[in-house]
Structure 1
Amino acid sequence: MIGSSQAILAWNIGTPELIVLLIVALLIWGRRLPEIARSMGRSVSEFKKGLREAEQAKQDITDEILKAGEESKPGLNTTKRA
């Protein structure tokens, strides 16, 4: 996965270009820029929350499988001999 700094470097965007882009964004979106940033922050937060929930669900399923395996071990050792 490419980090944000690596993605910027991949496009060869330096500090001067980044400053120009930020000024253009400020001119275009002006007063809406804080609202847009807030919305993007909420989206990232929701995405991270979803990832945490998926990781927790995966861990719960893994724990259930391991528990079922441990519970079945004693039954495997009892065999009838003829």
Structure 2
Amino acid sequence: MNSPLAFGLPQGPEWIIIFVVVLLLFGAKKIPELARGLGKSMGEFKKAREDFEREIKSAEADASREEDEVKVKEVAGKEPREI
């Protein structure tokens, strides 16, 4: 397995070959539209990821708060011990 793509991103000459193939496949007029669509997709993905992370943190905070409330009720329900 000596492929440059197997262990990371392509190096300089590979990028040139990839660019030429994309240019031949899609044409010069279509590339800006593709890049714009890719940028919008990446933005939507980032927004969805941030929303998901926010929901997870919110759920963790709610669970922690409920756990604290249960502990407070348990402590409040117990009578003090006599020594």
Q: Alpha carbon RMSD of aligned pairs, Å?
A: 2.5
- Give the structure with the higher percent helix: 1
TM-score by length of 1: 0.73
Q: Which residue of 2 aligns with 1:38?
A: 36
Q: For residues 45 and 80 of structure 1, do their structure 2 counterparts lie closer, same or farther at Cα, with a shift above 3 Å needed? A: same
Q: Which residue of 2 aligns with 1:79?
A: 78
Cα deviation, residue 31, structure 1: 0.5
Q: Which residue of 2 aligns with 1:4?
A: none
Q: For residues 47 and 27 of structure 1, do their structure 2 counterparts lie closer, same or farther at Cα, with a shift above 3 Å needed? A: same
Cα deviation, residue 17, structure 1: 2.6
CA distance in 1, matches of 2:9, 2:53: 35
TM-score by length of 2: 0.73
Structure 1 gap ranges (5+): 1-6
**Identity percentage of aligned residues:** 25
CA distance in 1, matches of 2:68, 2:45: 35
Matches within 5 A, 1:3-18: 8=5, 10=7, 13-18=10-15
For residue 17 of structure 2, what is the amino acid of its counterpart? V
Aligned length: 75
Q: Which has the larger radius of gyration?
A: 2
